[in-house]
Structure 1
Amino acid sequence: MRNLVIEPTSKTPKVILNADLGIFEITGRSIPEDAIGFYRKVLDWIEEYSKSPLPETVFKFQLEYFNTSSSKCLLDIFRKLERMHKNGHKVQIRWHYDSDDEDMAETGQDYQALLDVPFELVPV
């Protein structure tokens, strides 16, 4: 399976989905006008990866800011990871946030409460 790398823009985050290592990252700002269009290729890629994942998958999220439509897409990503976890695969979500950003910490806690998958809050 080929890795997926999407370079950041002023409105979209950097995305690195490395199938060889099972390490995925989304970093930066996510305020695209068409979040569903932007995240569709990410969701499709994860769906394909989930058919034959590595023994361990780690997904690091380090977003400075994201809009409401991006938050729905993030939840869709989390649900796919949760499904992998429930199917017996080791999955770890790491939510990195600025230690001074209470809103982003709270958002991570909200996602953590919604999901049945290992979800680590990581202040930086």
Structure 2
Amino acid sequence: MEDLIIRGEKKTYFTPDVNFSASTGICTISGESYQEETFEFFNRLIAWLEEYIVKIRKPIEMNYKLTYFNTSSARAIQEMVIMLKKYKDQGGNVTINWYYVDEEDSTYEEAEDMQAQVGIRFNMIKMEGND
């Protein structure tokens, strides 16, 4: 299984940087996410996670380091979190780290809501400087 690496773009629309490692199970999404084809973008990430869960079946550490994302990105991220919750419920080892700037940040509030809706705990980590 190949790693999934996507270099983010900052033009009219913003796509996040993605680094999903098949060998370590460490998956990171960082930057900003508001693009025209949100689900087309996130479907690649979801397909990679599905393949990892089925073929590799090792621990996953998901790191969300998003400083901004739009509503359609939030829905796609929640779909990923639901998939990770199912994997955890089936005995998979899942860690979700959610990085935020401060507690007043909308991404912090979104993470709190997502945890409650999906029923999985995130490690909430305050970003220092330019993490």
TM-score (norm 2): 0.88
| Kept in 2: contact 1:22–1:54 (CA 8 A) | no
Match of 1:5 in 2: 5
Match of 1:93 among 91, 96, 100: 96
Q: Secondary structure at 1:65's aligned position in 2?
A: strand
Give the structure 2 partner of residue 103 of structure 1.
Answer: 106
Q: 1:54 to 1:47 in 2, by over 3 A?
A: closer
Aligned to 1:115: 118
Paired position in structure 2 for 1:39:
42
Any gaps of 5 or more consecutive residues in structure 1? none
Alpha-carbon distance, 1:40 to partner: 1.1
Identity of aligned residues (%): 29
Q: How many residues align?
A: 124
Residues 91 and 118 in structure 1, CA contact (< 8 A), matched pair in contact too: no
Could you tell me how far apart the structure 2 residues matched to 1:17 and 1:85 are? 18
Which SS does the other structure have where 2:36 is aligned?
coil
| RMSD value, Cα | 1.3
Gaps of 5+ in 2: none
In the alignment, the residues of structure 1 paired with residue 50 and residue 30 of structure 2 have an alpha-carbon distance, to the nearest angstrom, of: 20
Counterpart in 1 of 2:63?
A: 60
Q: What TM-score does the superposition give when structure 1 sets the normalisation length?
A: 0.93
